[in-house]
Amino acid sequence: MKTILFQGDSITDWYRLYDTADIKYDDCLGMGYPTFVKGRLGLDNPGKYRFINRGIGGNRIVDLYARIQLDFISLKPDYISILEGINDIWHGRDWNNGVDAEHYNKVYRMLIEDLKRYLPDTKIMLMEPFVLQGCNTTDTEKDPGRADYFKKNTAQYSEIVRRITDDYNLEFVPLQQKLNEAAVVMGDSQIAGDGVHPTAIGHEIIAREWIKHFEKIK
């Protein structure tokens, strides 16, 4: 049986169980795209995969790197999926605790280099950071440049992730365009209510894109 590890922030976390460090597998994946992926892969491939979700709400790339031994290497996964970036941007706007593009790129590369060093046979997928229009990402009277800040920075961080996947021969999972297309049809609030956290429909879109790209590396 092969192990798939999901890593990231609250988008990945999305109400997973945290009771003990021993909780690892399928019954604690939360309510987001990892569970949707498990449903599809588990049905189509009985007994072939087990799933671990170690996403943590509020995490930035520096937080993932700090957890590399406990929540990556020690689990010895066959596949690692990472979705990280929106908090690096968001926290810089609201709490002066973000990670600028230069350091985001540097730490992300450190993470990948260490993963490839200690888990040389593990296949890695990097998911594209994304943003839509919602209550957390639109202009306000006190913050009139907010929407532009999120849009420009998310595009920049997305390009960083894309370059990292190219440089290290990893699988890139594009998300922004698919989410945008759905938002045109249904409205942003139906895809990510606050502009950051996906709805069930948003998570389904992410899961479908994830599976499409997983098929290339499995």
Domain layout of the chain by residue ranges: 2-217
Concerning whether 114 is annotated as a catalytic residue, the answer is no
Q: Name the active-site residue from 9, 10, 81, 88.
A: 10
pTM: 0.96
What lies within 8 Å, CB to CB, of 39 at 6+ separation is none
- Is residue 63 part of the annotated active site? The answer reads no
Q: Which of 158, 188, 197, 203 is catalytic?
A: 197
Q: What is the pLDDT along the chain (218 residues), one digit of tens a residue?
A: 999 999 999 999 999 977 655 555 556 899 999 999 999 999 999 999 999 999 999 999 999 999 999 999 999 999 999 999 999 999 999 999 999 999 999 999 999 999 999 999 999 999 999 999 999 999 999 999 999 999 999 999 999 999 999 999 999 999 999 999 999 999 999 999 999 999 999 999 999 999 999 999 99
Please tell me the distance from the alpha carbon of residue 50 to that of residue 210, in angstroms, as a whole number.
16
Token look-up 């502009």 returns 195
Catalytic annotation on 10?
Answer: yes
Q: How far apart are CA 130 and CA 99, in angstroms?
A: 16
Gap between the Cα atoms of 67 and 192, Å rounded: 27
Which architecture does CATH list for 2-217? 3-Layer(aba) Sandwich (3.40)
